[in-house]
């Protein structure tokens, strides 16, 4: 029994499970321990400290906590079996997300999937121990679950199928699940659910964070996707709340998710944080990319409406915003400016009388058609503007330097477009050519990158890009000089953004 936690798990089977899914990702032991390292270590020397993992998958958090408690309580409870029994019965609790993960977790923690069997290192009088699983049903309010927002059409399933209705977030009284208060809540919750047949996913990790805060533990640590920092469907209020919460004392951000979960791609990266009930100060932020660590740097998370992930970028942004110039969004279209979605097909291939050209995209190809001017009923005043069009979606990828945005192009007047494109609008071709040169600078795309965390670049993504005088060609050298960037700051931009030359296409 002494050797179980020191010898048996080498190589660690839980490391092998860490790349099974992009929705319910298993946590590598190395990351679980990095999160546990954020906690005050005296917690593991106190026999009264209680821990909850509300989203058990492999049981790695409870297992690694058990290791620390076994060492930390050795002097207070010298007898090994007595110490094991106390830890597993009185201190460690978990809620599994599926029946399968309940068995995996119990096997990892108790050495037996049934802790009332002869193989368990501690005996319970039931088959669950303190790692429970209940098959919960969604509570439908119209066509959505009132707790998690799952689609009734997608998740109103046969009893034999997994419902993905997680117990922890499908209740208004989470404190009644175990009828106790927890000192530490820690875990890696499920990230998302398909909301309408899989064509659009909705996040649910935020609901686990919010539900955990309702329990008011002394400490909360979770690993979640980073896209909440700047975007994400239905995450606006969650982002505001997180950025304003001064109880978040530590934040570790990985722009490339595969640096944490080998072989798993999660757009926007991954992060973990420590929330302390009795804390109220700045947050120590660390950014990690390809094992290069920046920080920790003390940051006010609520400085802006979105979070600037790299402190080096923040210094550059400060210099730009100090000039208090008008945002380029003042001459930027909104989503579906002319009212047509990307799959709009109400146009024709040949030019007819009183037609205007329509720009659209099919299978990543830029195409044009024609539509009668009288059929343009929205934003008619923009038809005869010169435009610089740019795809709203462009995969930023995980490697740097990156292009950030797709190739822009100048559209002469009159012209319209589908939802595929956003566009900057001006009165002359000269101005349009000037804007086109500006977009191609690394400086422009760097400022966009600070608010672009997924492939979509919405209008708000361009908020921090200032307008210039549209009377000539813009270059990075002119812009670096104008904003007084240092050699170090210039080198940082150059390392993050790759050139965009005329003739580049939209593909990575």
Q: What is the pLDDT along the chain (508 residues), one digit of tens a residue?
A: 444 444 443 444 444 444 344 456 889 999 999 999 999 999 999 999 999 999 999 999 999 999 999 999 999 999 999 999 999 999 999 999 989 999 999 999 999 999 999 999 999 999 999 999 999 999 999 988 999 988 888 888 777 677 789 999 999 999 999 999 999 999 999 998 865 554 467 899 999 999 999 999 999 999 999 999 998 778 999 999 999 999 999 999 999 898 999 888 888 899 999 999 999 999 999 999 888 888 899 999 999 999 999 989 999 999 999 999 999 999 999 999 999 999 999 999 999 999 999 999 998 889 999 999 999 999 999 999 999 999 998 875 667 788 999 999 999 899 999 999 999 999 999 999 999 999 999 999 999 999 998 888 899 999 999 999 999 999 999 999 999 999 999 999 999 999 986 654 444 3
With a CB cutoff of 8 Å and minimum separation 6, the contacts of 154 are 193, 194, 195, 196, 197, 198
Q: What pLDDT does 24 receive?
A: 67
Query: Does the predicted model carry a pTM greater than 0.85?
Result: yes
SS3 content of the chain, % helix, strand, coil (to 5): 30, 20, 50
pLDDT at 200: 63
CB neighbours of residue 78 within 10 Å: 9
Q: CA triplet 127, 128, 131: central angle to 5 degrees?
A: 160
Closest CA to 130 of 109, 161, 153, 100: 109
Distance CA 391, CA 312 (A): 28
Whole-number pLDDT of residue 395: 74
Q: Which CATH architecture has domain 4-309?
A: 3-Layer(aba) Sandwich (3.40)
The structure tokens listed for 376 are: 């343009």
CB 209 within 8 A of CB 244: no
Domain with CATH 3.40.50.150 in the chain: 4-309
CA end-to-end distance (rounded Å), the chain: 53
Which are the contacts of 464, defined by CB distance < 8 A and separation ≥ 6? 317, 320, 321, 327, 447, 448, 450, 451
Residue of 328, 325, 324, 317 whose CA lies nearest to 439: 328
Strands 355-362, 415-417: parallel, antiparallel or unpaired by DSSP? parallel
- Take residue 52 and report the two structure tokens written for it: 């909850």
Q: Which residue has the tokens 């296409």?
A: 505
**pLDDT value of residue 234:** 84
């Amino acid at each position: 029994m002494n050797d179980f936690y020191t010898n048996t798990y080498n190589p660690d089977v839980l490391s092998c499970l860490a790349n099974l899914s992009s929705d319910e990702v298993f946590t590598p032991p190395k990351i679980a321990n990095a999160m546990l390292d954020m906690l005050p270590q005296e917690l593991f020397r106190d026999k009264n400290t209680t821990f909850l993992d509300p989203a058990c998958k492999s049981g790695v958090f409870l297992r690694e906590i058990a290791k620390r408690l076994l060492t930390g309580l050795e002097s207070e409870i010298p007898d090994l079996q007595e110490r094991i029994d106390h830890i597993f019965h009185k201190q460690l609790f978990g809620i599994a997300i599926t029946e399968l993960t309940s068995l995996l977790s119990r096997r990892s923690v108790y050495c037996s999937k049934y802790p009332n069997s002869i193989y368990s290192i501690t005996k319970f009088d039931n088959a669950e121990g303190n790692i429970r699983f209940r098959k919960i049903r969604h509570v439908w309010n119209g066509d959505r679950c009132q707790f998690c927002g799952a689609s009734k059409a997608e998740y109103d399933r046969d009893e034999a199928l997994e419902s993905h209705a997680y117990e922890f977030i499908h209740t208004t009284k989470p404190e009644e699940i175990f009828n106790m208060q927890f000192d530490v809540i820690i875990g890696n919750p499920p990230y998302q659910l398909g909301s309408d047949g899989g064509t659009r996913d909705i996040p649910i990790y935020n609901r686990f964070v919010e539900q955990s805060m309702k329990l008011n533990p002394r400490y909360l640590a979770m690993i979640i996707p980073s896209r909440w920092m700047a975007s994400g469907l239905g995450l606006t209020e969650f982002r505001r709340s997180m950025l304003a919460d001064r109880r978040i004392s530590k934040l570790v951000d990985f722009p490339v998710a595969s640096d944490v979960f080998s072989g798993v791609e999660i757009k926007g990266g991954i992060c973990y944080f420590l929330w302390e009930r009795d804390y109220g100060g700045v947050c120590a932020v660390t950014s990690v990319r390809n094992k290069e660590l920046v920080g920790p740097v003390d940051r006010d998370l609520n400085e802006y409406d979105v979070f600037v992930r790299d402190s080096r970028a923040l210094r550059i942004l400060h210099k730009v915003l100090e000039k208090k110039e008008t945002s380029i969004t003042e001459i930027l279209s909104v989503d579906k400016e002319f009212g047509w979605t990307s799959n709009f097909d109400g146009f024709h291939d040949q030019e007819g009388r009183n037609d205007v050209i329509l720009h659209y995209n099919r299978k990543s190809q830029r195409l044009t058609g024609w539509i009668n001017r009288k059929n343009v009923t929205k934003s008619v005043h923009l038809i005869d503007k010169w435009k610089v069009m740019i795809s709203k979606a462009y995969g930023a990828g995980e490697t740097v330097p990156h292009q950030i945005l797709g190739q822009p192009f100048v559209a002469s007047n009159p012209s319209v477009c589908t939802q595929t494109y956003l566009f900057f609008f001006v009165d002359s071709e000269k101005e349009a050519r000037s804007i086109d040169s500006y977009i191609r600078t690394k400086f422009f795309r760097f400022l966009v990158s600070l608010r672009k965390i997924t492939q979509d670049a919405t209008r708000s993504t361009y908020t921090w890009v200032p307008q210039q005088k549209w009377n000539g060609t813009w270059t990075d050298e002119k812009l670096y000089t104008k904003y007084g960037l240092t050699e170090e700051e210039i080198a940082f931009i150059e390392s993050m953004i790759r050139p965009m030359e005329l003739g580049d296409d939209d593909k990575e």
